[in-house]
Structure 1
Amino acid sequence: MAISATPSARHVRRWRYRLSVARHEPTFLIGLLLTAVLLYLIVAPLVAVLSDAGRVQFGDESKTGQQAGELTGYYLWRVFRSQVSSILFWKPLLNTLVVAVGVTAVALLVGGLCAFLLTRTDVPGRKWLSTALVVPYMLPSWTFALAWLALFKNDRSGGQVGILEARGIHTPDWLAYGAVPIIICLGLHYFPFVLLLFGNALRRLDSQLEDSARILGARRRTVLGRITLPLMMPSLSSSVLLVFGRILGTFGTPYILGLPVDYNLLSTSLFAAVRNHEPGTTAVVATVIVVIGVGVVIADSRLLREQRRFVTVGGKGAMDRIIALGRHRWTAATAAIGVFALSVVVPVLTLALSTVTVTPGVFRADNFTWKYWIAKDLPGAPGFPHGVLRGTELLDAAWNSLRIVGLAALACGVLGLLIGYVVVRADGSRIATVLRQVSFLPYLVPGIAFAAAFLSLFAVRRGPIPALYGSVVLLVIVLAVTHLPYASRSGISAMTQLGREPEEAAQVTGAGWFRRIRTIVMPIQKGSLATGIVLPFISGIKELSIVIMLTTTGTQLLTTLSINLIDFAYDQMANAVVLVIALVAFLATYLTQRLTRTSLASGLGG
Structure 2
Amino acid sequence: MWRWQSSRTAVVGAAIVVFVVCCVLPVGYLLMVSLSRVDAFSALLLDARQRQLLYNTALLGTGTALLATAIGAPLGIVLARIALSRKAILRLALAAPVLLPPYIVGLAWTYLGSNRGWLATLAGHDLLSAWTYSLPAAILVLSVVFYPLSMLATEVAMRRIDGRLEEAALMVAPPARVMSRITLPLAAPGVFAAALVIFVLAVSEFGVPGLLRVRVYTTEVFTAFAALYDFTRAILLAVPLLLLCLIVAAVAAALLGDRLVITRRSAGTRPALFDEWQRPATLGALVVLAVALVLPLAILVNEAMAAQSISAVLAGSGRAIANSLVLAAAGATAVVSVAVWLGYARARTARRMGQGADVLFTVLFAVPSTIVGVGLILLWNRPGPFGTVYGTDVMLLLGYLARFVPVAALALAASARYVPASHEEAAAVSGAGWLRTMWEIVLPQMRLGLAAAWVVAFVLAFGELGVSILVAPPGEATLPIRVYTLIANTPSSHVAALALLQTAVIFVPLAALGAAMSFRPSTRAQGVPSRVEGREAR
**Fold conserved between structures, TM > 0.5:** yes
Q: Deviation at 1:476? A: 0.7
Q: How big is the shift at 1:398?
A: 1.5
State whether structure 2 residue 222 is matched by structure 1 residue 271. yes
1:580 and 2:517 correspond: no
Q: Name the structure 1 match of 2:526.
A: none
List alignment gaps of at least 5 residues for structure 2. 521-531
Are the equivalent residues in 2 in contact too, given 1:143–1:578 (CA < 8 A)? Answer: yes
Q: Is the 8 A contact 2:153 2:194 kept in 1?
A: yes
* Cα gap change, 1:519 to 1:450, in 2 (>3 Å): same
Correspondence for 1:239: 194
How much does 1:500 deviate?
A: 2.7
Which of 397, 404, 415 matches 2:338? 415
How far did 1:546 drift?
Answer: 2.9
Is contact 1:132-1:340 (8 Å) kept?
Answer: yes
1:190 corresponding residue in structure 2:
146
The aligned residue for residue 323 of structure 1 is 274
For residues 566 and 473 of structure 1, what CA distance do their matches in structure 2 show?
A: 27
Per-residue CA deviation, residues 13-32 of structure 1 (Å, 9 max, x unaligned), is xxxxxxxx98x823333444
**1:502 CA displacement:** 6.1
The percent of aligned pairs where both chains have the same amino acid is 22
Deviation at 1:337, TM superposition (A): 1.4
Over 3 Å counting, the alpha-carbon distance change for 1:128 and 1:410 in structure 2 is: closer
Kindly tell me the number of residue pairs found equivalent between the two proteins. Answer: 514
User: Is residue 329 of structure 2 the alignment partner of residue 406 of structure 1?
Assistant: yes
* SS, match of residue 544 in structure 1: coil
Deviation of the 1:491 alpha carbon: 4.2
For the 8 Å contact 1:111–1:195, the answer to whether it is kept is yes
* 1:175 aligned partner: 131
Residue in structure 1 matching 2:304, options 355, 360, 380: 355
* Equivalent-residue separation in structure 2 for 1:123 and 1:597 (angstroms): 18
Q: Contact 2:108 / 2:299 at 8 angstroms: preserved in 1?
A: yes
CA shift, 1:268, in A, is 1.1
Distance (Å, rounded) in 2 between the aligned partners of 1:434 and 1:313: 24
**Structure 2 residue 2 is the aligned partner of structure 1 residue 37:** no
Secondary structure of 1:404 counterpart = helix
Distance 1:322 1:472, change over 3 A: same
2:33 pairs with 1:52: yes
CA distance in structure 1 between the aligned counterparts of 2:185 and 2:519, rounded to whole angstroms: 31
Secondary structure at the aligned position of 1:390 is classed as helix
The answer to whether residue 373 in structure 2 is matched with residue 451 in structure 1 is yes
2:246 is equivalent to residue 294 of structure 1: yes
Tell me what 1:150 maps to.
111
1:363-408 CA distances to partner (integer Å, 9 max, x unpaired)? Answer: xxxxxxx41514xxxxxxxxxxxx41232x2x21111111111111
Q: Hey, what does 2:529 align to over in structure 1?
A: none
Aligned partner of 2:117 in structure 1 is 162
Rounded Cα–Cα distance in structure 1 between residues aligned with 2:519 and 2:503: 20
Give the aligned partner of residue 15 of structure 1: none
**What amino acid is the match of 2:195?**
V
Give the secondary structure class of the aligned counterpart of 2:515. Answer: helix
CA distance in structure 2 between the partners assigned to 1:339 and 1:420 by the alignment: 34
* Deviation for aligned residue 1:197: 0.9
State yes or no: 1:397 paired with 2:397.
Answer: no
- Normalising by the residue count of structure 2, what TM-score does the alignment of the two structures yield? 0.85
Query: Where in structure 1 are there 5+ consecutive unaligned residues?
Result: 1-20, 56-71, 155-160, 358-369, 375-386
71, 79, 85: which is aligned to 2:44? 79
Q: Which amino acid aligns with 1:292?
A: L
CA contact (8 A) 2:207 2:466 kept: yes
**Partner in structure 2 of residue 363 of structure 1:** none
Residue of structure 2 in register with 1:200 after alignment:
156
Confirm or deny: 8 A CA contact 2:209 2:216 kept in the other structure.
yes
Letter in 2 for 1:198: T
Q: Tell me the distance in 2 between the aligned counterparts of 1:279 and 1:245.
A: 24
- Is the 8 Å Cα contact of residues 114 and 128 (structure 2) preserved in structure 1? no
1:504 aligns with 2:453: no
Matched, 1:373 2:310: yes
User: TM-score, normalization: structure 1?
Assistant: 0.76
Distance change in 2, residues 1:45/1:390 (3 Å)? closer
Relative to structure 1, is the Cα distance of residues 320 and 500 closer, same or farther in structure 2, using a 3 angstrom cutoff? same
> Aligned ranges for residues 562-573 of structure 1 at < 5 Å?
562-573=483-494
Tell me, yes or no, if the aligned pair for 1:440 and 1:484 is still in contact at 8 Å: no
SS in 1 for 2:274: coil
Distance 1:255 1:579, change over 3 A: same
* Cα 1:474/1:179, change in 2 over 3 Å: same
**Cα distance between partner residues in 1 of 2:414 and 2:257:** 19
**Counterparts of 1:107 and 1:424 in 2: how far apart (Å)?**
31
| One-letter amino acid of the counterpart of residue 504, structure 2 | L
Whether the aligned pair in 2 keeps the contact of 1:52 and 1:279 (CA below 8 Å) is no
Deviation at 1:152, TM superposition (A): 1.2
Distance 2:162 2:447 in 1: 36
Measure, in 1, the Cα distance between the counterparts of 2:188 and 2:8: 42
SS at match of 1:169: coil
Deviation of the 1:520 alpha carbon = 5.5
| Aligned-partner Cα distance in 2 for 1:423–1:201 | 22
Q: Going by fraction, where is helix more abundant, 1 or 2?
A: 2
1:249 corresponds to which letter in structure 2? S
Q: Deviations over 1:343-367 (max 9, x none)?
A: 111110111111123xxxxxxxxxx
2:255 to 277, 293, 303: 303
Alignment of 1:107-146 (within 5 A): 107-122=68-83, 126-146=87-107
Counterpart of 2:286 (choices 323, 337, 347) is: 337
Equivalent AA in structure 1 for residue 27 of structure 2: L
1:346 maps to which of 287, 291, 295 = 295
Kindly provide the amino acid, as one letter, of the partner of residue 42 in structure 1.
Answer: C
Q: Does the Cα contact within 8 Å between 2:225 and 2:231 map onto a contact in 1?
A: yes
1:223 pairs with one of 175, 178, 181:
178
Aligned: 1:104 with 2:53: no
